[in-house]
Chain A
Amino acid sequence: MRNVNLPPLDPDKGEWDEKALNRRRFLEASFWVAASGGVIATVGAGIRFLIGNSLEPKKESWVEIGSTESLTPGSMHRVRYRLRAKDAWRTVEQSGAVYAITEDGESYTVFDATCSHLGCLVRWQEGDRVFACPCHKAYFDHQGQVLSGPPPKPLRRLETKIENGVLWALI
């Protein structure tokens, strides 16, 4: 440390090397430069390593919802989808839940069942025609709009397409 007087040495032991002490300031500065450089480089690389690939956007995939014939107009259909996806260094089967509805048998709406509040899965209650989230008591109408409870935004609507009579959604 700078400006700290060194304790006197026991004469029997010897004496401080005055010549070497002249370089003390310089050595102190060198220590701080070398040490902070090493720490900054190590910590910086470590942080980048830890962030890893976590900020890469999720790859969207088309998942099969079902044949359009199986989706009766007017009623809400819960669909559990599965897809093969890369999870870090593994390729795994991922699953999830969506709700699909059509009013006229021509245009289809698919909702991600994930609550827009904190990510629990909502359930469709046919009697009241609402989506209910069991976690923090949230309700959404059949359009996915918030009726009550804490969610800040509607249920997420997924992009859809129909190919050969099969409904697909982009999740």
Chain B
Amino acid sequence: MSKLGKWIDERTGISGPVRSFLSYPVPKYVHGNLLYTLGGLTAIGFLLQVVTGILLMFYYDPSPEGAYNSVDYITFEVPLGWLVRGVHHYGASAMVILAALHMLRTYFMSTYKKPREINWLTGVLLLFLTLAFGFTGYLLPWDQKGYWATKVGSEIAGSVPVIGSWLASLMRGGEVLGQATLTRFYATHVVLLPTLVAILIVIHILQLRFHGMAPAITERAKRNSRKFVPFFPHWVVTDTILGLGLLALLVYLSWSQGVPLDFPADPSASDFVPRPEWYFLFYFQALKYFPGSLEAVATILIPLFIFGTMIVLPFVDKGDERRPWKKPVTTGVGIFYTVLIIVLTILAW
């Protein structure tokens, strides 16, 4: 250890915990399987969102009059503004995809089972918070897309029986969408959600470290499960290279596709067809199939049911079997929902 390192360690005692964190033994069957990099990649995606988000805050103006122009200014006039906003914009989609894939991997391998329930629960919360990030984030440019998505979103809250209109007003900060809505969404997006997500990620990772990786389920993996590599550098370098690939992809998308910005929000526009971001399209499509009296079923009950099912999953599916091909019920349900969401998304595209 260098002299400076020693000085710091004598005063903080940090070298022990850091060394044990970095030298954590990762089973070889995990290191050799790219499916296990999804969690780390999601975390890298979150870091990218934090960095680009902080940068965007230096120019963003959270007011209905100023928001659109400030985003337009960021996109077209600030040097590299297109890049920072582009990476943030496409990074949001990447987060949703990576978190969802990470969850599917966990689900089909049944790693939510005892003693890893808390890891599954924090993961479920993190997935929904990622969606909340998307929802609060795309209002911020105050363009047509964000305005109308938020209008519909707050009406969805408004369709909850009895307390609906109250909920919708709380969400908007009043009866109509305006200044109060924007600052609410802004504070939620840049302070509340990041804090919650950061805390949950720490718990998620500490839980992973506490229990270790779930035991191997295939024969091949089992043969490899008594060989280990250290977390640093073996595992870290894999995730870092993939993370760099993710960043390159986001940069490429920002450069080749540009970053979208609709016309400024216009509450009386007749020629605009409101559509949510792609990751909410399945829900948007599903809402078409439920007539008047069943509105609350589609808007609230089904999402609550899905969320509830995910929460109780580890407490219901308690057997020892973890091989997906030996668990037709959970595997079937998982495939059904995945296909359903994909089909609804395609129908709405």
B284: chain A residues within 8 A (beta carbon): 135-136
Contact flags A27-64 to B (C-beta < 8 A → 1, else 0): 00000000000000000000000011111111000000
- With beta carbons under 8 angstroms apart, the residue of A88, A97, A136 that contacts B268 is A97
- Known: A121-B270, A149-B288. Contact between A92 and B151, CB under 8 A? no
B32 within 8 A of A: no
B18 within 8 A of A: no
A96 within 8 A of B: yes
A53: chain B residues within 8 A (beta carbon): 173-174, 180
B267 within 8 A of A: yes
Instruction: List residues of B (255-296) whose CB comes within 8 Å of A's CBs.
Output: 266-270, 273-274, 284, 287-293, 295
Q: Which residue of B has the minimal Cβ distance to A55?
A: B169
A88: chain B residues within 8 A (beta carbon): 173-174, 178-180, 183
Instruction: List residues of B (66-101) whose CB comes within 8 Å of A's CBs.
Output: none
B267, A58: Cβ atoms under 8 Å?
Answer: no
B267: chain A residues within 8 A (beta carbon): 94-97
CB of A65, distance to nearest CB on chain B (Å): 13
- With beta carbons under 8 angstroms apart, the residue of B64, B151, B174, B287 that contacts A150 is B287
B166 within 8 A of A: yes
Bound together, the chains give a CA A55 to CA B155 distance in angstroms of: 15
Instruction: List residues of A (48-96) whose CB comes within 8 Å of B's CBs.
Output: 51-58, 78, 80-81, 87-90, 92, 94-96
- With beta carbons under 8 angstroms apart, the residue of B63, B176, B270, B287 that contacts A136 is B287
A96, B268: Cβ atoms under 8 Å?
Answer: yes
Interface size class of B (residues with CB under 8 A): 35 or more
- With beta carbons under 8 angstroms apart, the residue of B64, B170, B269 that contacts A92 is B64
A78: chain B residues within 8 A (beta carbon): 270
B175 within 8 A of A: yes
Bound together, the chains give a CA A12 to CA B104 distance in angstroms of: 56
- With beta carbons under 8 angstroms apart, the residue of A57, A97, A137 that contacts B270 is A97
A52, B292: Cβ atoms under 8 Å?
Answer: no
A92, B65: Cβ atoms under 8 Å?
Answer: yes
A156: chain B residues within 8 A (beta carbon): none
- Known: A52-B180, A118-B155. Contact between A134 and B274, CB under 8 A? yes
- With beta carbons under 8 angstroms apart, the residue of A55, A87, A119, A135 that contacts B273 is A135
A123 within 8 A of B: yes
Bound together, the chains give a CA A121 to CA B284 distance in angstroms of: 16
- With beta carbons under 8 angstroms apart, the residue of A89, A113, A149 that contacts B291 is A149
Bound together, the chains give a CA A52 to CA B169 distance in angstroms of: 11
Bound together, the chains give a CA A152 to CA B277 distance in angstroms of: 25
Bound together, the chains give a CA A144 to CA B165 distance in angstroms of: 22
CB of A61, distance to nearest CB on chain B (Å): 12
- With beta carbons under 8 angstroms apart, the residue of B63, B64, B178, B295 that contacts A152 is B295
Q: List 23 A-B contacts (CB under 8 A).
A: A53-B180, A54-B174, A55-B169, A58-B175, A81-B268, A87-B176, A88-B173, A88-B183, A90-B64, A92-B178, A94-B176, A94-B267, A97-B267, A117-B155, A118-B152, A118-B155, A121-B268, A134-B273, A135-B273, A136-B287, A136-B288, A150-B289, A150-B291
- Interface of B toward A, CB cutoff 8 Å: 63-65, 148, 151-152, 154-156, 159, 166, 169-170, 172-176, 178-180, 183, 266-270, 273-274, 284, 287-293, 295, 298-299
Task: Contacts A54-B174, A90-B63, A96-B267 known; list 20 others, CB within 8 Å.
Answer: A54-B172, A55-B169, A55-B170, A80-B268, A87-B64, A87-B179, A88-B179, A88-B180, A89-B179, A92-B65, A95-B267, A96-B268, A117-B295, A118-B151, A118-B299, A120-B151, A134-B274, A150-B288, A150-B290, A150-B298
